[in-house]
Amino acid sequence: MCFLFLKVTFASLLVRTDSCSFMKILQLCKKFPYPLKDGESIAVTYLSNALHNLGCEISLLSMNTSKHYMEISDLPSDFNHYKEIHVTALDNSIKTLDAFKNLFSSDSYHVSRFICPDFRNKLIELLKKNKYDVVQLETLYLAPYIDVIKQYSDALITMRAHNVEFEIWERITSNTKFLPKRWYLQYLTKKLKRFELEHLNKYDYLVAVSERDLRKFKNLGYKNGAMSSPIGLDMKNYTTISTSTVSNDICFIGALDWIPNMEGLMWFVENVWPELNQKFPKLKFHIAGRNTPDSFKTLQLNNVIIHGEVPDAIEFMEKYSMMIVPLFSGSGMRVKILEGMALGKVVITTTLGKEGIYAENDTHLLVADDPTAFIAQISDVLSGAKDKNLIGKAARTFVEDYYDHGVNAIKLLEKYKSLKDNPVYKKDNIQM
């Protein structure tokens, strides 16, 4: 299938912002969107910052979870695009007893870990005090609060779906070999899917991160208004350095407490690296990631350097000419791929990894789905058969053209404005 993109620059759209007028937006998050070390945080922060730059008054209500705790007093001074920031503490750690009890409940354990009375009470307080134009839910895990929003506000309720959530877990389950674990994951995924489908038409407007995900939601029965709005980057944060200072080594970076990342990395280490290391004995593989398991840190792998969590992901990626993203499960868009491309790196990923990113294989990035293909792609870059500089330049241009956060924010804001001005926005507003 062919997708047509129109190149639009932020400057060319800026003249249209007058039509967007002032809007008051409340953004709800299941974890605090800082530091910018994962795709969700990047997606939330760049969009909210762009909306602020367009004149919106945007406030944040976020859970501050035990898994991704952020000390709010440590926020940098330039994290200042929100009018107000409100957080409520939540222990969302996986507890054996709770997980066992959930076996006898119809509730989704994935979702129930984000049901927080303090968050609900704070949400009610904010809705009573403020008249918001839009309440934007960041991911499905905020869906339990839709009824509260409807009770206390007449704001447009939008769901920004970063993924088709149950699809991630279906793919993880299909890649799980240990039968008891596979059965348990199937059970959890079935309940998550039921929850996602039951809530599919409870919000007023759906914002999917890719055309592919938008079609998926519609095929699943979504009937209200919808549009695709890809995750965008602030390109000024992705400066490139001289190619003479970049190593020919390869790198991987990603949160290693996210199953698809760890699953893909272990596949690469076990199935690709031994032969690749034998073929290129001087080649090094650099791995960075938040919450790197201790068991992984102790692996004795020739020429594999495990950095653990690094203070600056962009600085880490800048050092190497190639970045691998071996994903075999997941959904939505992989922001780390966009970041690598924005830095002019040769990104080598799977067909599933590039899902939702309509870049061309062998032009903007390289695709490989098995060990032989990964070794061949990396070999071609190292030998010069594929020009890494040419691919890197094409990659950056591609991201500049189609994934600028400012352009995406203008289009989304114009849609919000049209819905606000349309008294029947809840009917017949599906956008392709």
- Interatomic CA distance for residues 174 and 192, integer angstroms: 16
For residues 394-401, average pLDDT: 95
pLDDT at 27 over 60: yes
DSSP-derived pairing of the beta strands 320-325 and 247-253: parallel
For the record, the structure tokens of 229 come out as 């709005």
Domains of the chain: 10-232+405-420 (3.40.50.11010), 236-402 (3.40.50.2000)
Please give the share of the chain, as a percent, with pLDDT higher than 70. 91
b/e sequence 2-13, b meaning 16+ C-beta within 10 Å: eeeeeeeebeeb
Name the token pair of 214: 């938008």
Look up residue 192 and give its two tokens.
């998550």
* Cα separation, 424 vs 206, whole angstroms: 16
- pLDDT tens digits for 109-134? 999 999 999 999 999 999 999 999 99
User: Is pLDDT above 90 for 430?
Assistant: no
The reported pTM is 0.86
136-142 average pLDDT score:
97
Give the whole-angstrom CA distance, residue 242 versus residue 322: 15
Say whether pLDDT at 14 is over 60: no
Give the orientation angle of helix 39-53 with respect to helix 335-342, to 10 degrees: 70
